[in-house]
Amino acid sequence: MFTWEFPPLISGGLGTACYGIVKGLLKKGIEVDLVLPSKEEIYFPLRKVTDVDELPVKFISMSKQDEYFKEVFHTATEKYSYLGLDVIPESYFNKAEIKTYFDELTKTYTYSTKVPFRKIIDNLEGPEDIFEKVKEFTMRAEKYARILDFDIIHVHDWLTYPAGIIARSISGKKLVTHIHATEFDRAGGGGDIRIHNIEYSGMTEADSVIAVSKYTAEMIISRYLIDTRKISVIHNAHNIDVKGYKNKKKIFKDPVVLFLGRITLQKGPDYFLEASKRILKEFPNVRFVMAGAGDMERKIVHRSAKYRLKNRFLFTGFLNTEHVAEMFTNSDIFVLSSVSEPFGITPLEAMSYGLATIISKQSGVAEVIKNVVKVDFWDVDLLSSSILDLLRDPEKRNKLGENGRKEVEMIKWDKACEEINNVYIKTNG
């Protein structure tokens, strides 16, 4: 399994989803060799459920092929740091090495995709480090494909698709491509053609494609013209086991309305801000919190200052897992205002804490949950009135939160992983 992030180092829902998937597969007795971007040629041989937190490490370089990690660390983060892992790993190859490698490798193998893989690699140029890091990650895939003993390849989102294609070509093993989000979702429109080409190639070369929602499946069929026969829709679940949150002392006496996610165009932070402005005129005794970071953060901060929302609209910056739990504990209403959300695990997590939840209809999670309020992302009037209704009626708010909490208790990774295993079996014939 190739993925770009995994707890404790995560930047969004992808890491959370991969954690739940791997843990669920291990429960079923399915062993996982997890590959992440790193400075060392290493992988995580996960064989039992506790391995998802302990993360045993094994080197695959020829001199250390059978050597397990022997250093002792107090936290998984210390281990990640030692191995050079980060949310976005540092570059550790020079560009000349990468170019030589791909010049040779892409001459060796042929591909069926209409967008030639060699052309995709050649187009991964530019000042952005992220494309060089994708090349580095892909460069490692050849050795994993030759040395490891595996039955199937599973890749998550565009950053890992080239690695999966290389591994498939070398090993002859089947490839499952997991779509958590497309560039259309992230960019809120056209986006980067280089990423579109990688996504198209990754889905075309795949033997099976998993979409996290019907919403996403329709997107990849209409935008990428992917064969419907190889697409399976498997909804995400959540990992949180919430205990004792009701007994914790809250920071604010006033009710708190929470936005938690990347502050980017895709997540609709501007719609949340506009609704906050309107609500505070009618219901001043409320706090709005925007938790997260992203390229729109400066813009939203400036606009909130322009609106003179003062300490009624607060920013936390990026939160780690522990602080996210604390934020849920101190909130009363959660809002997902995404313009385009392939699934959206965060609402499930918010509901597990008993928060009354409002979600965008333009989200995959809207397909699986009922005890929430659903609005169009662009309908600021309805979003505002829905939040006001819950603020003015605490009993209704609490009832919605409690019903939502009971509902998400039934949405577990065990069922999703059973479906993923069925995809593996079907793919391998």
Going by pLDDT thresholds of 50, 70 and 90, the confidence category of residue 76 is confident
How far apart, in whole angstroms, are the C-alpha atoms of residue 241 and residue 146? Answer: 39
**100 pLDDT more than 80:** no
Contacts 24+ apart (CB under 8 A), 126-133: 126/194, 129/88, 129/91, 130/88, 130/159, 131/194, 132/91, 132/93, 132/95, 132/98, 133/37, 133/88, 133/89, 133/91, 133/159
pLDDT score, position 308 = 95
Report pLDDT digits (tens) over 21-61: 999 999 999 999 999 988 778 899 999 999 998 888 888 76
**67 pLDDT more than 50:** yes
How far apart, in whole angstroms, are the C-alpha atoms of residue 82 and residue 86? Answer: 10
Report pLDDT digits (tens) over 272-318: 999 999 999 999 999 999 998 888 999 999 999 999 999 999 999 88
The CATH homologous superfamily for domain 245-408 is: Glycogen Phosphorylase B; (3.40.50.2000)
Going by pLDDT thresholds of 50, 70 and 90, the confidence category of residue 251 is confident
On the question of a common fold for 13-237+417-427 and 245-408, the answer reads: yes
Of residues 383 and 79, the one with the higher pLDDT is: 383
Q: How far, rounded to the nearest angstrom, does the alpha carbon of residue 325 sit from its chain's CA centroid?
A: 17
Report pLDDT digits (tens) over 226-238: 999 999 999 999 8
Q: Are 203 and 209 in contact (CB under 8 A)?
A: yes
Structure tokens at 255: 């009710």
Burial code (b: 16+ CB inside 10 Å, e: under 16) for 332-342 equals bbbbbbbbbbb
User: What does the DSSP 8-state code read for residue 245?
Assistant: G
Q: How far, rounded to the nearest angstrom, does the alpha carbon of residue 363 sit from its chain's CA centroid?
A: 14
State the amino acid at position 344 in one-letter form.
Answer: G
| Residue-averaged pLDDT of the chain | 86
Residue ranges per structural domain of the chain: 13-237+417-427, 245-408
How far apart, in whole angstroms, are the C-alpha atoms of residue 108 and residue 103? Answer: 9
Going by pLDDT thresholds of 50, 70 and 90, the confidence category of residue 424 is very high
3 state SS of 288: strand
On whether the 13-237+417-427 domain is CATH 3.40.50, my answer is: yes
Q: Are 152 and 174 in contact (CB under 8 A)?
A: yes
How far apart, in whole angstroms, are the C-alpha atoms of residue 408 and residue 89? Answer: 34
Report, as an integer, the average pLDDT of 199-225: 94
Q: Are 209 and 220 in contact (CB under 8 A)?
A: yes
Structure tokens at 304: 């909130």
Report pLDDT digits (tens) over 327-367: 999 999 999 999 988 888 899 999 999 999 999 999 999 99
How far apart, in whole angstroms, are the C-alpha atoms of residue 177 and residue 158? Answer: 9
pTM: 0.82
Nearest CA to 263 among 292, 288, 301? 292
